[in-house]
Amino acid sequence: IASTTDVAERKRLRAERKVPRRLHKQAADFAARKRRYEEHMAIFSTRNSYSKTDRDATFMRMKEDHMKNGQLKPGYNVQIATEGQYTLAYDVYPNPTDMKTLIPFLDEVETFLDLPAHIVADAGYGSQPNYTDILERRGRLPLIPHTMYRKEQKKKWREEPFNIANWAYDGKTDTFTCPDGRRLPFSHESQRTDRDGFTRDFRVYECESCDGCPFRELCTKAEPGRHRQVSVNGAWEEQKHMMRTLLSDEKTGALYARRKTDVEPVFGYLKANLGFTRFSVRGKQRVKRELGFALMAVNLRKFIAKGIG
């Protein structure tokens, strides 16, 4: 049978005719995806997730985890300011971390209340931006332990040889000495700016040579040929030292000790006595109003019970 190339040629021509249509379909699909991504990013803003049923809510890990699998659920971060177990101010935030809610919450409180001389909060709020804001912008004293405050009190932390806080420092030569007795002189200064625009200044110290060090694997993860570097944030270290001093002082330490008996009972009363463990509405403004009614009920019941007693 005589061979022919007609069939192959027809298939080639048909495939060529499909190319423009396929490219047009891909371009339209990419454009639609881009619009959807832009819509999602506009809703996200500075968050990393949002709920389709309540776009103001963010997926968070809740304390109530019945499945014991760390399931994420849409929720809000509730912030309250109390005095004598009475709620004076409150607000809700879509940010799951307390550290980034303190400054906007204090801004909200200052619109109708004068801040006290001491701002008391737990270690979840201890950060350099928060300390700097309270000290320099508001002229108040923070009584907020930094995140490592409790760990630094333990014997294991104080005796850890590869912890930079336990290394010998010579102020005259501006040099650290590692556990192997090697010097880390000052190398250079650097700056780091986070996503919120806060800039931290560091002094960087670098070991003269880590070659042949028996502790290299325990001390650093630097690649072979590179040496151990240590970055020291002077402002942050001063703030942490101030917190240790204030929290160890008898007067200010007693003020901080009152925090857990002042703030935590309000949340406990909401959950245990009123059964208020979740919001029944959607949208930040509605959630805030519902929380306001619940906190007002707690204040009134405590006031009435105190009057009766």
Which stretches of the chain are DSSP H helices? 6-44, 102-109, 128-132, 149-152, 155-158, 216-219, 234-248, 250-257, 259-262, 264-268, 284-308
**Confidence at residue 127, expressed as pLDDT on a 0 to 100 scale:** 95
Provide the domain limits for residue 181.
Answer: 153-235
Last residue of a domain, one of 186, 206, 235: 235
Neighbours of 48 (CB within 10 A): 9
The answer to whether residue 50 sits within a structural domain is no
Domain count across the chain = 3
The answer to whether residue 53 sits within a structural domain is no
> Do both 64 and 112 map to the same domain?
yes
**Confidence at residue 85, expressed as pLDDT on a 0 to 100 scale:** 92
**Confidence at residue 64, expressed as pLDDT on a 0 to 100 scale:** 78
> Do both 138 and 257 map to the same domain?
yes
Last residue of a domain, one of 202, 235, 268: 235
The answer to whether residue 199 sits within a structural domain is yes
Q: Which residues pair with 168 in a beta bridge?
A: 177
Low-confidence residues of the chain: pLDDT under 70: 1-4, 308-309
**Confidence at residue 7, expressed as pLDDT on a 0 to 100 scale:** 78
The model carries a pTM of 0.85
**Confidence at residue 223, expressed as pLDDT on a 0 to 100 scale:** 86
> Do both 174 and 107 map to the same domain?
no
CATH number at residue 140: 3.30.420
Last residue of a domain, one of 205, 235, 265: 235
> Do both 139 and 165 map to the same domain?
no
Contact 89, 292 (CB under 8 A): no
The answer to whether residue 301 sits within a structural domain is yes
